Each structure stands twice: as C-alpha cells, then as structure tokens.
C-alpha cells in the first residue's frame, strides 16, 4: 500500500524523478530486500539498475555527466530509496558526500579526474572519520599522515566505513599536524584511492587494507568495514583541494559535508517512517480481534495518527533544511533539527508499527522485522541524537546571543 507523500510542493521535474524512484523501489527494491537482508549480501543487480537510472550522479553537475540536481531533489530521492530499504540509500549516501566534497572543495584537476566516473557509479566513494576509539569526538582522531618527499605516508585505523570495501575512493580525515592547538587545525582530508573490492591492496595502493566486513544487527547488504593504513603512500596532490589549499583544512571541510549528510540521514528517517506507516495501515485493516479489524480500535487509530503526524513533520523539516541549503542560506541548525527529529521519527514509527503487528512483527515473515533492525542506525550515523542536541543548542545560542 503506497501512501501519497503529497505534503511537499514539488516541481514537475521533482515529481517525475520521485515517481520514477518510487516505482523503482516498489518493483525492484521492496520485493528483493528480504533476500539480500537475510543473506547479508550486496544487492549487485539493484545497484546496476541504479547506475542505469543515473542515481550515483544525482547532484553531480551535468558538465561532469551527472544530473545536476539540488539537495532538495536529492533528499526526495533518498526518502524513496529508504522507503524501499535503507541499505540501498546507504550505497549512494557516502558516495554523495564524497561528490559534495569534491564539488565544493576539490581542485579542478580532482573534479575532472573523479567526478565523471563517479557520476556513472563506475567509481564509488566512501567517507571516513570514525576510528575504533572515537566517533562523536572527531578531534580525537589518531590516524596520521607524515610528509615524505612529494608523498604523504598514512598510518592508523579507521572504523565503521560504509562502502569501505567496494569504494575506489575514500575521503579520509587524518592528522597532519600533531602539535596543532586547537586540534582541528591540524587535520587534512585525503582522497585515498584503492582497488574496489580488494581486501589487501598492492602496488600503488600497498598499505591500504580492508579487514572483513563488520557483522551488524541490521543495515545489511551494504558493507561496513574497518580500514587499516600501514605505510600507505599517497601523493601530496591527493589532499582535497590540493596541498596549498587543503593542508590542515580537513576538519572544516568534513564538518561542512556532515551538514548535508544530516539532511541525507533525515531523509532516510522519513523514508523508513513512511514505510512503517504504510505497513501499519495495511496490517491494521487486515487483522481482526474481538470481532472487528484492529483499525477500528481507537488505541490503534491513535498510534496511526501519531505516526502520520511524525512522518509529516519530519518530511517538512527535512525539505526545509534542504531548501535553505540550496538557497545558500545558513542551515546548520535546521539540518541538525531535521536529523534529530526525522531519525527519532523513524525509530518511533517503526516501533509503533511493530506493536500494531503484534506477534507477527517478531516474525521474519513480515517486513517490519527488518525495519526494526534497520531504524536504530539512523540514531547514530552522522552524529547521534545526543550530538545533534549539542549542535542545536550551540547554534541556537550563537544565533540568539544577548
Ligand atoms: C552501520 C554504521 C555505519 C557507519 N558509517 C560510517 C561512515 O561511513 N563513516 C564514518 O566516519 N563513520 C561511520 N559510522 C560511525 C558513526 O558515525 C559513529 O558510530 C557515531 O558518530 C558515534 O560514535 P561512537 O560509535 O564512537 O560513539 P561514542 O562517540 O563513543 O558515543 C557513545 C555514546 O555517548 C554519547 N556521547 C558522546 N559524547 C557525548 C557528549 N559530549 N555528551 C553527551 N553524550 C555523548 C553518544 O551520543 C552515544 O550515546 C557508522 C556507524 C555505524 C553503526
């Protein structure tokens, strides 16, 4: 049962694209998600079709072979993909962050070198801040690069890298000035190249290794990996923006990217919440207790009402944050609020839908069981709910200083 997502005004182009992606989710993602989730295997045929639809180049300018769409349209697409399965949007999402970094901070050479192949999905990107000992406290990173001639040598370990194995490019934040005070002034983003799909790289990429993928409760199909840098040599011009412009500027670049990343995760929250609502609307009109369908019980109607209200509010907040960013206005506060609200709405709606399913919600026969394992990720990625509240509080005080 598809429930119209009509609360947002869309341009004709946005309507056409979201309808196309919704159809793709209905026909290709939803019927196959259970299989790939169960096997925890990479959904290669679905990804191939996404490549054909041009979804890896959604926001990449047309001059590089992409569709040149804005963040708002991208958020609409992500909602539809996530309504199908959040792992599918996860395959696109860190790639999108990588292309954003290149478009905003990359040198002309770097854009020319990577964006055309990224637009087709031939080359896919990952984004790596987290380490085994830290996620929220990014300034505590230990992975470091030291200069050696016209190269840098990277040593250290990264954690939880989405698309870590299949990506050919990793936008990785490392320390380049261990004495910097404050610490963020000594960090650089490298565009680290490797062979996609290879665990132990050799030749030009020797010293860049990908251990076996991490085992997770949900968000299956898309790999999350550690990355081990052991004397990995990368040219100085692999610094994002080039050495002159980009050395020790990585922290600010990554934080900027996280802002669009938060809109992206918010859209995923809307998508999963929307799907949980659809499943609840259907199941509640099928299941009978005490002689009538459970949708006739007021307690169930109240749950449906709360879910639909959360979906609507989350979608409006997400699109507002995206539109502000597209208009070149400040959107840090709004992106943080949208991420916080929509990811919590995702969790809330999935849990309410799960309750409406009664015992069957606990069965692998029903889709809600997968959503129940997938939804919590959104509370963590791109900053936990606690970190969002810190960001929102800080920005509020900045904007309303007395
Ligand atoms: C499936 C998956 C995919 C991921 N993909 C990526 C990726 O592609 N790239 C990447 O770089 N990272 C990725 N991450 C990592 C993710 O960004 C981190 O897990 C997240 O930022 C939280 O960090 P942490 O796990 O180290 O928790 P911690 O930072 O150790 O936090 C633990 C708890 O303490 C709370 N906390 C921390 N500091 C404070 C504070 N100051 N005040 C109040 N509470 C606080 C947190 O909210 C949390 O509840 C992924 C994670 C997962 C699970």
Predicted local distance difference test score (pLDDT) of residue 330 = 86
Atom of ligand 1 at shortest distance to CA of 162?
8
Predicted local distance difference test score (pLDDT) of residue 8 = 85
Atom of ligand 1 at shortest distance to CA of 386?
47
Which residues contact ligand 1 via a Cβ below 6 A? 94, 127-130, 134-137, 160-162, 216, 219, 224, 377, 380-381, 383-384, 386-387
Summarize the confidence of residues 273-280 as an average pLDDT.
98
**Residues 281-295: tens digit of each pLDDT:** 999 999 999 999 999
pLDDT of residue 3 exceeding 70, the answer is no
Give residue 21's Cα distance to chain centre.
Answer: 17
Predicted local distance difference test score (pLDDT) of residue 349 = 98
Torsion angle (degrees, nearest 10) of CA 391, 395, 396, 400: 160
Give residue 113's Cα distance to chain centre.
Answer: 24
Summarize the confidence of residues 266-293 as an average pLDDT.
98
**Residues 62-100: tens digit of each pLDDT:** 999 999 999 999 999 999 999 999 999 999 999 999 999
Six token digits for residue 248 = 């020790």
- Residue 148: pLDDT band (50, 70, 90) is very high
Distance CA 60, CA 56 (A): 8
Q: Say how many Å lie between the CA of residue 136 and the centre of ligand 1.
A: 5
Q: Say how many Å lie between the CA of residue 295 and the centre of ligand 1.
A: 38
Residue whose CA is at the smallest distance from ligand 1 atom 16: 381
* Mutational test site, ligand 1, from 221, 250, 380, 394, max ligand atoms within 8 Å of CB: 380
Residue whose CA is at the smallest distance from ligand 1 atom 29: 136
Q: How many C-beta neighbours within 10 Å does residue 61 have?
A: 16
- Where in the chain are the domains? 12-120, 125-248, 253-399
Distance CA 236, CA 65 (A): 27
Atom of ligand 1 at shortest distance to CA of 94?
8
Distance CA 8, CA 311 (A): 12
* Mutational test site, ligand 1, from 87, 100, 128, 135, max ligand atoms within 8 Å of CB: 135
382 included as an active-site residue: yes
Q: Say how many Å lie between the CA of residue 292 and the centre of ligand 1.
A: 45
Residue range 253-399 in CATH 1.10.3720.10: no
Q: Which CATH class is domain 12-120?
A: mainly alpha
Residue whose CA is at the smallest distance from ligand 1 atom 20: 135
| Helices assigned H by DSSP within 67-151 | 71-84, 86-105, 108-120
Residue whose CA is at the smallest distance from ligand 1 atom 12: 130
Six token digits for residue 69 = 């769409």
Q: Say how many Å lie between the CA of residue 131 and the centre of ligand 1.
A: 10
Predicted local distance difference test score (pLDDT) of residue 239 = 98
Summarize the confidence of residues 181-207 as an average pLDDT.
97
How far apart, in Å, are the Cα atoms of 306 and each of 30, 137, 273, 345, 379?
25, 34, 11, 10, 19
pLDDT of residue 113 exceeding 80, the answer is yes
Q: Say how many Å lie between the CA of residue 379 and the centre of ligand 1.
A: 9
Residue whose CA is at the smallest distance from ligand 1 atom 17: 381
DSSP code, position 141: -
| Pick from 102, 74, 96: nearest CA to 322 | 74
- Residue 6: pLDDT band (50, 70, 90) is low
Distance CA 112, CA 104 (A): 13
Which CATH number is correct for 125-248, 2.30.110.10, 1.10.3720.10, 3.40.50.300, 2.40.110.10?
Answer: 2.40.110.10
* Active-site entry in 329, 365, 382, 398: 382
The three-state secondary structure class of 12 is: helix
Distance CA 193, CA 206 (A): 10
Distance CA 266, CA 192 (A): 28
């Amino acid at each position: 049962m598809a429930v119209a997502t009509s609360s947002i005004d869309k341009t004709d182009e946005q309507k056409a694209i979201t309808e196309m992606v919704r159809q793709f989710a209905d026909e290709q993602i939803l019927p196959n998600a259970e299989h790939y989730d169960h096997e925890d295997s990479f959904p290669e045929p679905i990804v191939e079709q996404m490549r054909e639809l041009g979804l890896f180049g959604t926001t990449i300018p047309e001059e590089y072979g992409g569709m040149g769409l804005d963040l708002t349209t991208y958020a609409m697409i992500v909602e539809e993909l996530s309504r199908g399965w959040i792992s599918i949007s996860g395959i696109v999402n860190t790639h999108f962050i990588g292309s954003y970094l290149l478009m905003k901070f990359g040198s002309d050479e770097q854009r020319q070198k990577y964006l055309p192949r990224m637009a087709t999905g031939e080359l896919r990107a990952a984004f790596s801040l987290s380490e085994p000992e830290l996620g929220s406290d990014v300034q505590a990173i230990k992975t470091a690069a030291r200069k050696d001639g016209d190269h840098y040598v990277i040593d250290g370990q990264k954690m939880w890298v989405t698309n870590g194995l299949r990506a050919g490019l990793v936008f990785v934040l490392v320390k380049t000035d261990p004495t910097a005070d404050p610490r963020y002034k000594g960090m650089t983003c490298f565009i680290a190249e490797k062979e996609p799909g290879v665990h132990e790289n050799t030749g030009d990429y020797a010293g860049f290794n990908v251990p076996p993928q991490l085992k997770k409760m949900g968000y299956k199909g898309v790999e999350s990996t550690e990355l081990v840098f052991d004397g990995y040599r990368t040219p100085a011009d692999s610094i994002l923006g080039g050495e002159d412009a980009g050395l020790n500027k990585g922290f600010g670049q990554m934080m900027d990217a996280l802002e669009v990343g938060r809109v992206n995760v918010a859209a995923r929250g809307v998508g999963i919440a929307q799907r949980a609502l659809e499943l609840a609307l259907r199941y509640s009109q099928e299941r009978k207790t005490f002689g009538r369908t459970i949708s006739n019980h007021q307690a169930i109607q109240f749950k449906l009402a709360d879910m639909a209200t959360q979906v609507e509010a989350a979608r409006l907040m997400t699109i507002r944050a995206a539109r502000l960013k597209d208009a070149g206005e400040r959107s840090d506060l709004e992106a943080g609020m949208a991420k916080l609200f929509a990811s919590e709405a995702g969790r809330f709606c999935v849990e309410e839908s799960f309750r409406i399913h009664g015992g069957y919600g606990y069965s692998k026969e029903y889709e809600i069981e997968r959503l129940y394992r997938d939804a919590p990720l959104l509370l963590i990625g791109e900053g936990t709910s606690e970190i969002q509240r810190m960001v929102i509080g800080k920005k509020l005080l900045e904007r309303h200083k007395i």
